[in-house]
Copies of this chain bind each other. A is one copy, B any other.
Amino acid sequence: MEDRRYVITLSCPDRTGVVARISGFLADAGAWITEAGYHSDADAKVFCTRQVIDAASVPYGVEELRERFGEVAVELGGTYRISDTGRRKRVVLLVTRESHCLHDLLGRVWADELPVEVTKVIGNHDVLEPLVTAHGLPFHHVPFPGPRDEAREQGKVAAFQQVRELVDADDPDAIVLARFMQVLPAHLCEAWAGRAINIHHSFLPSFAGARPYHQAHTRGVKLIGATCHYATADLDAGPIIEQDVIRVDHGDTAADMVRRGRDIERLVLARGLRWHLEDRILVQGNRTVVFR
């Protein structure tokens, strides 16, 4: 088992002495820094940092650390967050029919490779229910109206309301759209800003929208990819967390690309989610700083 850590992230206007102020505070507290990342954005004149502290080295608790460090953050004109690895993070998964991302994440949780509690899985179809219950986790089926349903818009609004209630009841640290094939309404993107993580099955900004592998096949690209990003009201345009690609060639049909692309989707989502849960990501406008 890992030792308990406090993870501090801060962003503030850049100026001389910022690092000295932060590290001076930590030194005074006797804090042992086990990991530290710094980034100065020269264009935006913004400074970002992530500091990992051995909890045992600090003579007071996380609440007092938040309070005391909060004063430093105010002084620096910044925003900060302090996370305690002693509290297990909570995750809700949203799915449709594709099993690969769900199955991959459940395996990582089972092996304790991803140290989270999956509080529930919500599906707009129920085909993945057996996978979820086999892991002893609750599955909630929230049916969505089909494309030819009367009162389709109304039905969607009601379904999303139900999803929202199920999600918000757990106050999760991450809401993962693990190949959830419904577009989140703007009010949910806003309510879950910085917590809703989507995996898109293309190397964005190429092939946004529907059937990206078929678009990729038609265009004849030589690499296909996947993109993990924060969900925003502007579909497929949120801050990118992670991307990766694999090589394809003329022998790959669109169906081959769909199959082979799953391997990249799995990995890219798992990496992105891990970094999010470890507080490695700071969003700056539409870009992310990822302290790896």
Contacts and interface: CB of A to CB of B under 8 A. Distances in A.
B243 A221 contact: yes
A222 B243 contact: yes
A220 B107 contact: no
A111 to B, nearest CB: 5
A33 to B, nearest CB: 6
A107 B131 CA distance: 9
Interface in A190-236: 203-207, 218-223, 225
Contacts of A222: 240-243
Contact of A19 (B33, B103, B107, B286): B33
Contacts of A35: 40, 251
A240 B220 contact: yes
A288 interface: yes
B290 A249 contact: yes
A147 interface: no
A142 to B, nearest CB: 22
A34 B24 contact: no
A58 to B, nearest CB: 11
A26 interface: yes
Contacts of A225: 223
A80 to B, nearest CB: 17
Interface stretch (A84-92, A116-124, A149-157, A259-267): A259-267
A67 interface: no
Interface in A138-194: none
B27 A16 contact: yes
A100 B263 CA distance: 14
Interface string A25-38: 01110111111111
Contacts of A21: 27
Contacts of A79: none
Given A19-B19, A220-B288, A103 B99 contact: no
Interface of A: 16-17, 19-21, 23-24, 26-28, 30-43, 57, 99-100, 103-104, 107, 110-111, 113, 131, 134-135, 203-207, 218-223, 225, 239-245, 247, 249-251, 253, 259, 262-263, 267, 270, 284, 286-290, 292
15 contacts: A19-B19, A34-B40, A35-B40, A100-B111, A100-B113, A104-B107, A203-B223, A205-B206, A219-B240, A220-B287, A221-B240, A223-B225, A250-B284, A250-B287, A251-B292
Question: Which 3 A-B residue pairings sit nearest by Cβ, starting from the closest?
Answer: A220-B287, A20-B27, A134-B134
